[in-house]
Amino acid sequence: MSILTRFRDIMSSNINALLDKAEDPEKMIDQCLRNLNSDLGKVKSETAAIMAEEQRAKRVLEDCEEEMTKMQSYALKALESNNEDDARKFLEQKASLSSRQPGLKEAYDLAHSNANHMREMHDKLVNDINELESRKDMIKGKLAVAKTQERINKMGSSVVNANNSMASFKKYEDMADRALDKANAMAELNRSSESQSIEDLAKKYAADANVEDELAALKASLNK
């Protein structure tokens, strides 16, 4: 998903630039958060749309299964009224619905999986933004210290000052590593759904009902 790619690029490019160029890191931190909040709005909109599709697929599947149950009931009532032709028609309709049911189930399962992935992505992005917001002042404070250290180094550095500068740099490097780890984790949430299993394929071809066999079974149950 392009939003995930954008999120990864924001986290990697801006923070790496903060370390490599250090032109105006405070503005870059603020811009990073603005971009993330903008992406959050897009993720919310996309999540809502996918959740709506999940509900639609679920409703269509449930309607199909409910109709199958009705056709079965009507066929039984028709036989009880000694009307074999009507019973056969009801069972034929049930068979038609049965042939559609596996595809509807597959569509719902995929929609449900997509909705779960989007909810996870949304929740993680919210948590990441909240964490970055809470750390923003601390990060800016460290950057202010780093700028002061740079001015001292330009006036006349010593071995001790150089070591302190390297220690500060390591802190920012660790921060960048954590940010990249989060971005990679977010990208993994956008995995595609698993391939159709053998069991699902078997259900698809096993779903076709033999109307005459089922009619005979109903007649046998009435005779008993």
Q: Kindly report, residue by residue over 115-145, the tens digit of the pLDDT.
A: 988 888 888 888 878 877 777 777 777 777 7
**Residues 76, 218 contacting (CB under 8 angstroms):** yes
Q: Which of 5-14, 103-112, 143-152 has the lowest mean pLDDT?
A: 5-14
- Taking residues 168-193, report their average pLDDT: 69
Cα(170)–Cα(192) distance, rounded to whole angstroms? 36
Band (1; pLDDT cuts 50, 70, 90): very low
Whether the pLDDT of residue 18 is over 50: the answer is no
Cα(40)–Cα(10) distance, rounded to whole angstroms? 13
Q: For position 168, what pLDDT does the model report?
A: 66
Whether the pLDDT of residue 100 is over 80: the answer is yes
Instruction: Give the highest mean pLDDT range of 32-46, 60-74, 173-187.
Output: 60-74
Integer CA distances (angstroms), 13 to 6, 10, 150, 179, in order: 10, 6, 23, 11
Whether the pLDDT of residue 8 is over 60: the answer is no
Burial class of residue 121 in the structure, from the number of CB atoms within 10 Å of its CB (0-12 exposed, 13-18 middle, 19+ buried): buried
Q: What is the dihedral of CA 99, 102, 106, 112, to 10 degrees?
A: 110
Whether the pLDDT of residue 64 is over 60: the answer is yes
